[in-house]
Amino acid sequence: MGSVGLLYVGAVLFVNALMLLGRVEERSAALLNLFVGTLQVVLPTLLLVAAGDDLKAITAAAGVYLFGFTYLYVGIGLLAGLDTTGVGWFSLFVSLSAIGFAAINFLDVRDHPFGVIWLCWSFLWFLFFLVLGLKREELAPYTGWVTLVQAGGTTTLPAFLLLTDTYSTSAAFAVALAACAVVSFGALWFVAGPGRAQSRTSSEPAPGT
């Protein structure tokens, strides 16, 4: 069930990335956030019911709730026209919690690639905190592009690897993921970081010139 939920997280991150980049209208993005948020609350609840005293299963379900509540929070907020500071500061909580889940994957579960993925999610939700909680709107383009990359690299790709039984927990795969993440996020900073979009816009000739 986790791989199915992960696939649809990729879908909602894809749409939210396009929303941050101004390609998708906010209220239309709200519906998918509600759909996926509901899925990400129902699935871990089912896992908890079936987990019994299985601590690893309980821990896995606890992590999924962080994102389910985020998407529900975003969806309701967009439809109701709420201020974004609440979901922004909740994103900081998610970001810090994700570091803990990364440590669990590295040290306890021994799933090194997902340890890297949790760190990527921590970085992304910290960006959400900056944009939504602290109103650092100049970071919205960069955050949008990072969200788009993570929609593919940290959710859709591992979901398909899990669904096709080709996922590997090896350290080599984790190192490859980490390297791709660092290079991608660094390159995007130079392309879409603060001031980059404005400088490109100001350098373009005015219509009719």
pLDDT digits 0-9 by tens, 175-198: 999 999 999 999 999 999 997 755
Could you tell me if 96 and 118 are in contact, meaning their C-beta atoms sit under 8 angstroms apart?
no
d(CA 142, CA 194) in angstroms, rounded, equals 8
In CATH terms, 2-196 corresponds, of 2.40.170.20, 1.25.40.600, 2.30.22.10, 1.20.1300.10, to 1.25.40.600
d(CA 4, CA 209) in angstroms, rounded, equals 52
Long-range contacts at 186-193 (CB < 8 A, ≥ 24 apart): 188/142, 188/145, 188/146, 188/149, 189/142, 191/145, 192/141, 192/142, 192/144, 192/145, 193/139, 193/142
Residue-wise pLDDT tens digits, 10-62: 999 999 999 999 999 999 999 999 999 999 999 889 888 888 788 888 888 88
Intra-chain end-to-end CA distance of the chain, in Å: 57
- Flag whether the pTM goes above 0.85: yes
Question: Where are the domains positioned within the chain?
Answer: 2-196
